[in-house]
Amino acid sequence: MSADAHAGHGHDDHAHDDGRDHGSFKSYMTGFILSVILTAVPFWLVMTGAIENKNWAIAVIVVMAMVQIVVHMIYFLHMNTTSDAGWTMMALIFTVIVVVIALSGSLWVMYHLNVNMMPVHDMRNMP
Amino acid sequence: MSVSTPTMNGEAPVFYVADEHDHPPGQSTLFGFWLYLMSDCLIFAMLFATFGVLGTSYAAGPGPKDLFDLKLVALNTTMLLLSSITYGFAMLEMMKGKVGSTQMWLAITGLFGAAFLSIELYEFHHMIHEGAGPWRSAFLSSFFTLVGTHGLHVTFGTIWLVTLMVQVAKFGLIEANQRRLMCLSMFWHFLDVVWIGVFTFVYLMGVLR
């Protein structure tokens, strides 16, 4: 696939092979159809209330979002482990780690702050 | 490439890369732009974290169920997704070196982007008109910051797209313009990735909660 995409334009005169994949009509359409499915199903789930249990519904739409992000990364952003000798992937992995730490840390700490340190609404039930 | 240890046979040590190999102009632009996108990703992550923390603080004001119209959000999502695939088609035409069809797909992408922005502005206007502006509660402050930042990115992306269409019209699909179009491609698809997070965590989970 990569070889076909490279043949048509002037990338062959580069000193380095950048290992970049520019996609094809087929890969773009695959990504698009997967994205449509992964977008339509969560909207349908929430708008019709097809899953009674809220926690299950949240779990399903979050998983679908994660999968769709990966689909976009592969088919639209052409992520692979070879472009720029793997540094693109390294930068992505580093960012994902920082994002996960920051997001989960913020939510975790602030949730406990809310639960443990703001008893305003429960004061009337106190002895 | 030389190593900076003094040699025994009397040669002066070399502390820099002596044999500069060939770097064509713009070779590292795409990687540099990718690093910019990663830092942009951190900005959005912080805004998501802020929304995650403040998203349930309504200050006795309206909540997601009162404010969000999922049909409108679904339409908005469709616009952005369609603009992503049409940008992809523009890139494929660019690879083939066809100026006309590249411009046509770029124009269609720009129109979808503009449609997305119009729908979002309509939504914001509607909410503010109902008194649910960013000043109303912490939930709405964080909502407008997160979704507004994304909208600003799309706005600048659209301006960039128009700029590049002028460039392509003027100079054709030269190497530099191809590189610029590839950068915008990454930017555009990246914004679509961020939007996946927005519609899932802000709109769908907001309505579910």
The mean predicted confidence, pLDDT, of chain A is: 81
- Residue B195 · residue B56 · CB < 8 Å: no
The reply to whether residue A77 touches residue B201, judged by beta carbons under 8 angstroms, is no
Q: Does residue B5 carry a pLDDT above 80?
A: no
Tell me the residues of chain A between 18 and 37 that have a Cβ less than 8 Å away from chain B: 18, 20, 22-25, 28-29, 31-32, 35-36
Question: What SS3 class is residue B138?
Answer: helix
- Distance, first Cα to last Cα, chain B: 59
- Cβ neighbours of residue B92 closer than 8 Å, sequence gap 6 or more: A23, A24, A25, A28
Chain A nearest CA to B11, separation (Å): 31
- Distance, first Cα to last Cα, chain A: 72
- Residue B121 · residue B91 · CB < 8 Å: no
Q: Which two tokens stand for residue A53?
A: 């249990």
Residue B153 dihedral angles phi and psi, to the nearest 5°: -60, -45
- B3 vs B69: which has the higher pLDDT: B69
Q: Chain B within 8 Å of A102 (Cβ-Cβ)?
A: yes
Residue B12 dihedral angles phi and psi, to the nearest 5°: -70, 135
Q: Convert the pLDDT of each residue in B120-136 to its tens digit.
A: 999 999 999 999 999 99
Q: Convert the pLDDT of each residue in B39-74 to its tens digit.
A: 999 999 999 999 999 998 899 999 999 999 999 999
- Please give the average per-residue pLDDT across B88-113, as a whole number: 96
The reply to whether residue B77 touches residue A43, judged by beta carbons under 8 angstroms, is yes
Q: Chain B within 8 Å of A92 (Cβ-Cβ)?
A: yes
CA distance A73 to B137: 35
